[in-house]
């Protein structure tokens, strides 16, 4: 992809039910251009399968053009995801620079006045 929009990830909020701990992993493609683990956190038990729990995890300083969420329940843990929300904001559009011939970013004509 020649032009990439980069995002700054702020936080992820998960609502779930579980009878034991689970591990949350967020993978992104920056820095380095390949998917790698950037944040690992423990999701505590919700107190049983009948009880809901909401957990917010800070993602300070995590950026990327793509992301992947992985939740791994512990041994003998039942984990039921109910909802999830990832807060992010675009921070820029960048040229890749790897395409040949050289890439260009040209604005649309702008009429003076008005």
Domain residues of the chain, as ranges?
Answer: 3-95
- CATH topology classification for 3-95: Jelly Rolls (2.60.120)
pLDDT 10s digits, 44-75: 999 989 999 999 999 998 999 899 999 999 99
CA distance 63 to 75: 31
79 Cβ contact list (under 8 Å, min separation 6): 16, 17, 18, 20, 22, 43, 71, 73
> What tokens were used for 105?
């970013």
Q: pTM for this structure? A: 0.76
For the cut 90, the answer to whether the pLDDT of residue 6 exceeds it is no
- In the DSSP assignment, the letter for residue 113 is -
Whether the pLDDT of residue 100 is over 60: the answer is: no
């Amino acid at each position: 992809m020649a032009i990439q929009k980069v995002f700054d990830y702020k936080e992820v909020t998960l609502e779930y039910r579980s009878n034991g701990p689970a591990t949350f992993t967020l993978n992104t493609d920056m820095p380095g251009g390949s998917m790698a683990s950037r944040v690992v956190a423990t999701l505590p038990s919700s107190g049983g399968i009948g009880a809901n729990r909401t957990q917010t995890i800070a993602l300070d300083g995590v950026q990327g053009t793509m992301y992947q969420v992985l939740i791994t329940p512990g041994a003998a843990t039942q984990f039921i995801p109910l909802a999830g929300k990832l807060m992010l904001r675009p921070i820029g559009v960048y040229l890749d620079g790897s395409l040949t011939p050289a890439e260009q970013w040209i604005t649309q004509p702008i009429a003076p006045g008005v």
